[in-house]
Structure 1
Amino acid sequence: MRNVKRIFTYLFLSVAALISILPFLWMVVSSTNRSVDVTGGRLLPGTHLFENIRNLFATVDIVQALWNSTLIAVGTTVLALLIGSLAGYGFEIYRSRTKDIVFSILLLSMMIPFAALMVPLFRLFGTISHIIPAIGIDTLAAAALPTITTAFLIFLFRQNTKFFPKDILEAARIDGVSEIGIFFRIYMPTMKATYAAAAIITFMNSWNNYLWPLVVLQSQDRQTIPLLISTLGSSYSPDYGLIMTAIVIATLPTAVIFFLMQRHFVAGMLGSIK
């Protein structure tokens, strides 16, 4: 009876995995076919991958779009990890009644949809454009700044900081290590699993962000990769083989990062400390 149950469990998991991976496989296969084959529902690999890549690089400036997305995603990830971990560390280590109230209000902000904030943000950056043009409308900084502090990251670091051994803090303070030194020299290396999980989430969200860059980035040379793919699909007769090739190229950075750090991602999401 146990073996039968195990067989059905593995069969169910195999079917679920196949359903989950099927869209990705179809995307990869479609990138090797012509547009007419994609629209015709061809599910077998073709021989037009290099032709699609050549046409893609000849049609649009995908290198510039990848570079823009990289700058935004990397900059956002680095700043978000620093700010989110500092805030989460502070909320947990220096707890007080007032800080708990502020943290609760911060969590409530997660209920506000980003679409409701776009108009105020756009007006804010429009005003900033006249004061500090380097971070105003149509700059990569403007696309990154609204996402460098998120309530989710602060919540993630605060919850995982609950498992941080407090004895280490006391020992470091007795040895004369400053609070900043404790954070950078002890807390950050100890919480590397949490940092890895937060880095993957932040990088993927920033890399795939579409709505805010669509609003704030107005020049052709400022386009990110999601905006570029959207442009390819908005033509009168879109080349679906070309679009699928662009999507595969856009997916590679996030896929590589996730597969390289997936073990740390699982550990960080479960609250483990390495």
Structure 2
Amino acid sequence: MIKPRRIFTYAFLIGASVISIFPFLWMVVSATNKSVDVTKGRLLPGSHLMENIRNLTSQVDIMNAMMNSLKVSVVTTLLALLISSLAGYGFEVYRSRAKDIVFNILLLSMMIPFASLMVPLYRMFASASRTVPTIGIDTLTAVVLPTITTAFLIFFFRQSTKMFPKDMLEAGRMDGLSELGLFFRIYMPTMKTTYAAAAIITFMASWNNYMWPLVVLQSPENQTVPLVISTLGSSYSPDYGVIMSAIVIATVPTALVFFLMQKHFVAGMMGSVK
């Protein structure tokens, strides 16, 4: 016999799950309906999905925007994992009073909102445009560089490294491995769940990044997915069916990354080391 307390727990979890998944289901259903049906709040699937996709491709180059977002997100993720894990590993394995002070300063930088950094960053990249155009304004490189490492990721890797068995490093040193060899051949394979969790967080944040690309990207051919979707919604009479279909398409890569790596994500967030 099921206890009343457990029934209440299951009912609460089911209700919370329905509330959490409803916006996603409504988005998918709305992508199959006309704009007028979306504004009326229709909750039944329609037959206009392909029509909405055709209208979307005729209005904006969504595939080019997807490729731009994919380039930015993949490069940002790879560089962020490498640099942040090196920093977190160094802060934890090679402890000193000076390093702790630097780490505390890094943590304090998390209190600075990114909006306050956009003007000096823009001026810096505008200056770079005159000397090194490939990293200047209106380039994907300018979107990547300010986000390849964050204080949060460094903190995340340092905290996870606390669980790392230091005896493995000593054994590697006795076998003649260099310090970089210890990192790449022992630390990285052992901390794969931490890397998976950090990869999901970084990829999703980079894919959904809107503010900085809006400031630094000016050409339509360089726009990322969030900018294209924003353009669709800024018209005088937006077609909500088209907008919802664009959002569904934009959600697919992040959903795939999360579902493929969700087991490692949970283990990495719990700080387990395998």
- The two structures have a TM-score, normalised by structure 1, of 0.99
1:53 paired to 2:47: no
Aligned to 2:253: 253
Aligned to 2:21: 21
Letter in 2 for 1:56: L
Displacement of 1:189 in angstroms is 0.3
Displacement of 1:222 in angstroms is 0.5
Displacement of 1:18 in angstroms is 0.5
Q: How does 1:1-274 map to 2 (within 5 A)?
A: 3-274=3-274
Letter in 2 for 1:172: G
Extract unaligned runs of 5+ from structure 2: none
Displacement of 1:2 in angstroms is 6.9
Letter in 1 for 2:239: D
Displacement of 1:61 in angstroms is 0.4
C-alpha distance in 2 between matches for 1:269 and 1:98: 28
C-alpha distance in 2 between matches for 1:30 and 1:110: 38
C-alpha distance in 2 between matches for 1:273 and 1:58: 49
- Give percent identity, aligned residues only: 74
Tell me, what secondary structure is at the counterpart of 1:45? coil
The alignment yields a C-alpha RMSD, in angstroms, of 0.9
Displacement of 1:245 in angstroms is 0.1
Tell me, what secondary structure is at the counterpart of 2:110? helix
C-alpha distance in 1 between matches for 2:182 and 2:218: 43
C-alpha distance in 2 between matches for 1:2 and 1:228: 51
Letter in 2 for 1:69: S
C-alpha distance in 1 between matches for 2:19 and 2:252: 20
Displacement of 1:121 in angstroms is 0.4
Letter in 2 for 1:58: S
CA deviation map 1:187-235 (0-9, x unaligned): 0000000000000000000000000000000001000000000000001
Letter in 2 for 1:6: R
- The two structures have a TM-score, normalised by structure 2, of 0.99
Letter in 1 for 2:263: R
Tell me, what secondary structure is at the counterpart of 1:117? helix
Which one is further off, 135-144 or 2-11? 2-11
Displacement of 1:48 in angstroms is 0.5
C-alpha distance in 2 between matches for 1:2 and 1:113: 49
What is the aligned length?
274
Letter in 1 for 2:124: L
Letter in 2 for 1:50: M
Extract unaligned runs of 5+ from structure 1: none
